[in-house]
Amino acid sequence: MKLFDVYPIYDISVVKGKGSYVWDEKGTKYLDLYGGHAVISIGHSHPHYVQMLKNQLDNIGFYSNFVRLPLQEQLAEKLGKVSNCEDYQLFLSNSGAEANENALKLASFATCRKKIIAFSKSFHGRTSLAVSCTDNPSIIAPVNQTDNVIFSAFNDINALETIFKMQGQEIAAVIIEGIQGVGGINIASDSFLQKIRSLCTQYGAVFIADSVQCGYGRSGKFFAHDFANVKADIYCTAKGMGNGFPIGGTLIASHLKPKMGMLGTTFGGNHLACTAALAVLDVIEQENLIANAEKVGNYVMSQLKSFSEVKEVKGHGLMIGIELFEPCDEIRKSLIFNHHVFTGSSSNKNLLRLLPSLAVSKTEMDIFLEKFSLALQK
């Protein structure tokens, strides 16, 4: 059997990882500032994470949600504290798309409404409703095309108000990334997020904060939406939550009530997944990684601003977009193959995305700055 060929990949196979570095099968060492699509939050193969997963595997790796899983309760309690969502409820799944899919479905159940507002350049995943809310027609299959999703311009308060004025009683939810990732590191303005909050409250709609990429401390705050000082009704997390172990979390405000059987999953919240997520939160706390993300992020962003080849530096913390005056794919290739640094792309062809581990050091970022400057010389 052959692989279903859907990924534009680089011809490198990664066989080992440690901290901010990965190695290929020939022993070449790469500085990983991409973390496999923003997934590596505490660094590759962190010893505490490895030990906790090994210990758990010695006991039991998996059981499903038909018995009590105390690890889920431990995770809910710890995540509630770290995220400042202690009075929320946690539903566990396996990916970012599922975290959003469940949030959207729950919003529709709770409001008995069908319409969802999403924004230009959004990316919310590839399951059916999540992809319908994603602003990329090329990945929406005909069966997922729907009039139930209304796209509005990102950060446009007037456009949003108009939709609510016309159809407010039909809106189940508004879904928004605090910082758009795939769309090219676009920050939702404080006033826009505050307006979403007030319109959702006024019209009885559910505010869903997609924090799959921008959340879990990456921005220098636990949720990027926290910059606007608003509380969403639902936060969706994944990526950094398991540092590579698949897990998604839907954090649900207490006014949204559960009903037996309304959501469900076979794998979600299993022993290994919860252990991975608990280990991640331990390390985030013990090593002060959210403060590190803010500090190192501010440092590298200020340095990047002095490059004449850089048009704009966007982002918060360790979610950084470097926008050049021209397409950056050659520079990205040069960074990988000549300078051994992994970076990411986005739907903005001129923009490089940096999504390193939250534990990345200033010294490692200095190495990047030096290699970036060499790659720019071509």
Ligand X SMILES: Cc1ncc(COP(=O)(O)O)c(C=O)c1O
> Which residues lie near ligand X (CB under 6 A)?
37, 95-97, 100, 123-125, 177, 181-182, 210, 212-213, 238
CB 332 within 8 A of CB 343: yes
Name the minimum Å distance from CB 8 to ligand X: 15
Nearer to ligand X, 43 or 184 (CB): 184
Rounded-to-integer distance, Cα 178 and Cα 171, Å: 20
Nearer to ligand X, 238 or 304 (CB): 238
Nearer to ligand X, 238 or 277 (CB): 238
Name the minimum Å distance from CB 34 to ligand X: 12
Rounded-to-integer distance, Cα 221 and Cα 16, Å: 30
Nearer to ligand X, 185 or 322 (CB): 185
Go through 281-300 and write b for each residue having 16 or more CB atoms within 10 A of its CB, e for each that does not. Answer: bbbbeebebbebbbebbeeb
Name the minimum Å distance from CB 339 to ligand X: 25
Name the minimum Å distance from CB 101 to ligand X: 9
Nearer to ligand X, 238 or 365 (CB): 238
Nearer to ligand X, 123 or 164 (CB): 123
Name the minimum Å distance from CB 67 to ligand X: 26
Nearer to ligand X, 238 or 284 (CB): 238
Name the minimum Å distance from CB 193 to ligand X: 15
- Using CB positions, name the residue nearest to ligand X: 96
Residue 244: closest CA among 75, 354, 361, 94: 94
Rounded-to-integer distance, Cα 18 and Cα 41, Å: 12
Name the minimum Å distance from CB 180 to ligand X: 7
Rounded-to-integer distance, Cα 343 and Cα 298, Å: 18
Q: How many CA atoms lie within 13 A of 157 on its CB side?
A: 10
Nearer to ligand X, 224 or 375 (CB): 224
Instruction: List phi, psi (to 5°) of 294.
Output: -65, -45
Rounded-to-integer distance, Cα 339 and Cα 296, Å: 21
Name the minimum Å distance from CB 257 to ligand X: 25
